[in-house]
Chain A
Amino acid sequence: MLNLKSLAVAIPAAFLATAALADGETIAVFTKNQTNPYFQAVRVGADNAAKSLNAKVNHYIPTKPDSIPEQLSQIEDVIVKKPSAIVFIPVDYKAMVPGVEQINEAKIPVVNVTDRSAGGKFLAFVGADDYNLGLETGRYMLKKLGGKGNIVIIEGVKGSLTSIDRVRGFNDAIKEFKDVKLLASQPANYQRLQALQVMENLMQSHPQIDGVMAANDAMAIGAIEALDGANRKAQVIGINGTKEAVDAIKAGKLLASGDYNGFVQGCIGTMVAIRSLRGQPIVTEVVLKPTVVDNTNYQPYDAAVETRTCPTWDQAAAMATKTN
């Protein structure tokens, strides 16, 4: 009797468990554009995680990079298609809040990645800390310069959260060293060519520049080209830890790059979404610790993102800053 009773409980429970663990969920992954290698890394991370968990990923990317109206209409389209869950990077952390609210109304679980949305309900946030990334990478360079010298900052897109926070980090690092002088802080919109030209112009008015802090790798490498062209030397840092930056570090041209680790963000964001669908425990916030990639530790980054593997769930959970 007792056995039968426990069996009666066990069978449906086993059924439930398999139902909850069924694979084949579809995850809609939203990224900002097709041009920045960072988001490619996020997408590869998401694909990688989904594949190992037997889920499917559909990518939604605005054809016009970082387009707010386009991402909004993509959200509307996706809600109609009802994916199992959404992994979401807002192109603008404020402007996309109404879009997130639509997802919430449609009761589709959603994980927020990279840029922390200003509103809406999410299962979890997975991202990096732009301010600390700027601060740590900036500090790293200033220490290498012996705590003195003339610095210029090359800013990203004015008003974007990543640029604001990274530049704030740079500035605070500079304030920590009283013999470091900030000569100029000029925008180049995360664009290589603009960074090259801004650097060329700054070199005209500043005969001595010791360090360049660029808010992303493409701009850092643009600045290096400008320095090379003028036969001048300065230490340059970038942010994102892209393959191109690693090559420049290996060649001794770039001092360091702050690792934003889009690949891992894509992995963990997707893992959280799938685990939540399967009723497994999740974490509610992962903010990756800033890592400065330099000529001593670049090896793990010196490979195409496609060849990397996601962290295990235990490793991911260990990085969590908030859990349920």
Chain B
Amino acid sequence: MSTASDIAAPGARFHLSKDVVQIVYRLLAAGLLCLLLSVLTDSFLSMNNILNVLRQASLLFFLASGLTLVILTGGLDLSIGANIGLSACLAATAIKATGSPALGTLVGLGVGTLVGICNGLMVAKLRIPSFIATYGMLWVLHGVTYYYMAGETIHGFPPGFRQIGSGYFLGIPIPVYLMLGFLAAGTFFAQRTVWGQQIYAIGANPVAARLCGIPVDRRLILVYAFSGAMAGVASLVFLARLNSAEGDVGEAMTLPAIAAVLIGGASLFGGVGTVFGTFVGALILTLVLNGMNLLAVNASWQPLVTGVIVVLAVWLDMIGRRRT
């Protein structure tokens, strides 16, 4: 599949329609999984469980949506999990010290974004490969966080702040609104704005993009800043949901976030993928775990089942796309 030619075609419409076809297949994979689960267990299709799955998917989606933009440029951000850790711990400290959730929110978003900007500067200005730059950043963040926390946890936040993570509005969890909001904003940004299209162009062919006069460096810094900011958002929702911060909070989330983006149809080579696809990817990963818990799959088998289903979902999708 030549990614460059997709983009080189004039106008956004052509690659949009191709994206739509791709998304339909991703949705089919997710739908198939839902169908299977609803046959296997009654509790799956209850309204409660649907909201439950959406809320669980939201954390992964926050991380993965920012990452999608990075991957669209052909880069990778390995520091997002560690970024959550530092942002969460510093935001927690700010809330504890001042009692002000607003300040904590500012600190969480600020730290996340700042880390992202540093990543962007390393990649765009110093020309360090993104894998290395963000891998280095991962260690730096872990180091700072572990030193700062010294093995302790910070817990107990004001109820107002906790609404972001555990509150409801009209019977639907707040994180789900946030997720839908970022999904709409991310999709609009990527598909309907000049900057968004420039990001696709950079990923498809960075040299051509530069020659076309696209400010590649500034766009790169922007996507890494977005990725960092979304880690900040995730850290806040995380804090509000779990009511506590510890150094390794985000550790287990980096790989699933990358997987969600790729399951959603993005290519690690850049230029291909959508925020909506990533949403479906996050949903598929969450559904697998939810289903295994509902069906009480033996703990030893869970990693195996997860692996098989993820690979199968993408394979089915690829077969489907070859047919069209």
Contacts and interface: CB of A to CB of B under 8 A. Distances in A.
Interface core residue of A63, A194, A200 (most chain B CB under 10 Å): A200
Counting contact residues on chain A (CB < 8 A from B), the size range is 35 or more
B241 A221 contact: no
A5 to B, nearest CB: 57
Contact of A34 (B44, B241, B247): B247
B152 A205 contact: no
A225 B241 CA distance: 7
B11 interface: no
Contacts of B59: 193
Interface string A195-236: 011101110110000000000001001100100110000000
Interface stretch (B101-109, B289-297, B311-319): B289-297
A17 interface: no
Interface of A: 33-37, 39-40, 43, 63, 65, 155, 158, 183-187, 189, 191-194, 196-198, 200-202, 204-205, 218, 221-222, 225, 228-229, 242-244, 247
B56 interface: yes
B284 to A, nearest CB: 15
10 contacts: A35-B247, A36-B151, A40-B151, A184-B296, A186-B299, A192-B249, A197-B289, A201-B49, A201-B290, A204-B52
A71 to B, nearest CB: 16
Nearest to B286: A197
A205 B294 contact: yes
Interface of B: 41, 43-44, 46, 48-49, 52, 55-56, 59, 139, 142-143, 146, 149-153, 155-156, 166, 238, 241-244, 246-249, 251-252, 289-290, 292-294, 296, 299-300, 302-303
Given A201-B290, A204-B44, A244-B155, 17 more contacts: A33-B248, A34-B247, A40-B151, A65-B251, A158-B300, A186-B293, A193-B249, A196-B242, A197-B56, A200-B52, A204-B48, A221-B242, A221-B243, A222-B242, A225-B242, A229-B241, A247-B155
Residue with the greatest number of chain A CB neighbours at <10 A, chosen from B149, B243, B251, B252: B243
Contacts of A37: 151-153
B287 to A, nearest CB: 11
A31 to B, nearest CB: 9
